[in-house]
Chain A
């Protein structure tokens, strides 16, 4: 059974803490544009919230798209990115475009995509920081 994040969008208060703590782990700095989970708000017209993150799909389009085999499913069924093997497809980021759920991200400050790996076995930071307890690992 694949584990992934489950999010209660009704509860999400759009504080962005999930993104900021995730970015600190991935990039060493709490930066809104460097996390692997992103909050999209529809305010002021609606309370609708969208969260973008890797669903650890059973059939992962990203792994199929990667020409370097840098994206691999681990024994825990989580899809991991091997940054050493990844060359960002010379800027094409085929995996990012292959993802049907907008669950991977790029930023010009990094040569590889930003992707959730559920904190590699530790309690995911986004789960433990969320003040609304809207994010769970299931």
Chain B
């Protein structure tokens, strides 16, 4: 058994109520480390591109890494993966909470959940022992009540992941709620769990993995935490969480407004800003287990005379459900809570609501079509639509398929359906950041802001922010770096705040594993995650034609704010795509060349 790992994955067959093990040797871990590269490899080797995403043949793969729950700052994450019902292609989604800690201590490096149960069940995975429990009494409940009821039996220590009505009804934008406030948000993984008739997963582990140099890894981690505790960056993060992102986006004119038409948050000076939300609603910081920067905002609002607690908001939710729809801060919190309870991804849900509001405003869809009038800023009507989607009532049945398929099936203007590869876009308008435009277009799981973050350098240099030249290699390099973090599995937010660059992280991996990993090897494994995901997508029929952006960004300039008048230039965009393909070693059709496959030892997946 390699240091830092258990050398095996637990396979849970929900259909036959059996468990088995998949043994993985040290070569596997040295080649893929864990997290994203590992799940991408398993999706390919288990041929999940051949399955219908919502059939019993699809599998959910949950994987940790060598630094998961090791005390290294940010090691409180795990990766979930499956073939996505929303995009039809590759999907991974990270989550924190208590799950990574407990999963790493089950004596397994990950779980594979296969098959569909005939009855409603929840899984109890305690120290690697699996029980298939009856979930009839939980079926139909919202995420909060489900977690609460489970915790009445299991207490506050274990990890509890569950789905709400959206997951049960196989809504394609359904998420998995984990340990209050945390979500496996993107791509409809909640629908995959629902299709297996699994309401929840309780995980508790007490077996500690054997590390190569545990004392030194611990001491190094604790030193880092203590030395940086009072840094401005960390204190700022503790104070506002991710809410400060709106300040930058508003300044650059790349906030989202009115279904990606304006580039600004119109209520920024009223209540849609970090200070107002912090002062009026945020009650408490909330943390992932073992995280030294508890950046979660726990809020409280009063509704009908009763206090309701809300995990959030964080920036993406603030962007898509808040600024995008022009609702008040209180409206944002209510929509945030509803999505979390119903089990809907807030990014995707906000996009769908924005699309509907614009469609009604422009007369493409009548209030009669939807069953209600839906105007910008209307929280209560939005809440009704969220319920319709999660319960698939009326037009909600079609909305549940995501904005791309809804627009297609209703023959509505697809330029206004804001997605890439079917995954709805997050809270950065790409017209004011060409790097973000490229990041969205080529991201393996579809429109995603967590693969590169090109704004890091762009925000300091307006010329570079709007340039098309030099972006291909730039985004590819950032992606490799991020994919390495997601192999370990580390939170995106923390390494930078602790000054942890790739070489330093590789040293920490070596303390856990006893390896002699270099930064070059580390980044190569990051790149391998992206190559494998690309191959998986190609096998799913997600190809170069899908490496694009919604028509709106090419045809319509931003209407307001600092990036007013900018749109994406077709030729410039194609230049970025071509440069990116070259940087990745792909041919002009976006297919990895034989040489590239050989370089990454992926010829077997051709």
Contacts and interface: CB of A to CB of B under 8 A. Distances in A.
A16 B290 contact: yes
B578 interface: no
A29 B208 CA distance: 8
Nearest to A45: B148
A90 interface: no
Interface in A12-57: 13-17, 20-21, 24, 29-33, 39-47
A86 interface: no
B289 A32 contact: yes
A16 B69 CA distance: 11
Contacts of B39: none
Given A20-B71, A31-B208, A129-B226, A13 B287 contact: yes
B285 A32 contact: no
Interface size class of B (residues with CB under 8 A): 35 or more
Given A13-B285, A44-B147, A45-B148, A131 B157 contact: no
Contacts of B229: 131
A35 to B, nearest CB: 12
Nearest to B229: A131
A47 B238 contact: no
A131 B148 contact: no
A13 B300 CA distance: 15
A41 B293 CA distance: 18
B298 interface: yes
Contact of B309 (A46, A131, A132): A46
Chain A interface mostly: loop
A129 B222 contact: yes
A45 B156 CA distance: 11
A68 interface: no
Interface string B284-316: 111111111110101010000000010100000
B241 to A, nearest CB: 11
B147 A13 contact: no
Chain B interface mostly: mixed
A16 B148 CA distance: 20
A43 B179 CA distance: 8
A128 interface: yes
Interface size class of A (residues with CB under 8 A): 20 to 34
Interface string A59-97: 000000000000000000000000000000000000000
A46 B214 CA distance: 36
Contact of B206 (A30, A33, A41): A33
Contacts of B283: 47
A10 B282 CA distance: 12
Contacts of A42: 156
Contacts, number: 85
Contacts of A14: 286-287, 294
B291 A15 contact: yes
A117 B403 CA distance: 58
A131 B290 contact: no
B101 interface: yes
A105 B442 CA distance: 52
B440 interface: no
B218 interface: yes
Contacts of B553: none
Contacts of A131: 225, 229, 234, 238, 287, 291-294
Contact of A15 (B151, B181, B222, B288): B288
Contacts of A45: 144, 148, 309
B226 A15 contact: no
Contacts of B179: 43
A44 B226 contact: no
Contacts of A46: 309
B274 to A, nearest CB: 18
Interface in A98-133: 128-129, 131-132
A13 B286 contact: yes
B581 interface: no
Contacts of B580: none
B289 A15 contact: yes
Nearest to B300: A47
Nearest to B179: A43
A16 B208 CA distance: 16
B180 interface: yes
Interface in B199-230: 206, 208, 214, 218, 222, 225-226, 229
A44 B160 CA distance: 11
Given A31-B206, A32-B101, A131-B229, A47 B288 contact: no
Contact of B218 (A30, A33, A40): A30
Given A15-B289, A131-B229, A21 B222 contact: yes
Nearest 5 pairs between A and B by C-beta? Answer: A13-B294, A15-B287, A44-B180, A13-B285, A43-B180
Given A10-B284, A15-B290, A30-B71, 11 more contacts: A13-B294, A15-B288, A29-B214, A31-B206, A32-B289, A39-B156, A43-B286, A44-B309, A44-B311, A129-B226, A131-B287
Interface of B: 71, 101, 144, 147-148, 151, 156-157, 179-181, 206, 208, 214, 218, 222, 225-226, 229, 234, 238, 283-294, 296, 298, 300, 309, 311
29 contacts: A10-B284, A13-B287, A13-B296, A14-B287, A15-B287, A15-B288, A15-B290, A16-B287, A17-B292, A20-B71, A20-B290, A29-B208, A29-B214, A32-B157, A39-B156, A41-B156, A43-B156, A43-B181, A43-B286, A44-B148, A45-B148, A47-B309, A129-B222, A129-B225, A129-B226, A131-B225, A131-B229, A131-B234, A131-B293
Interface of A: 10-11, 13-17, 20-21, 24, 29-33, 39-47, 128-129, 131-132
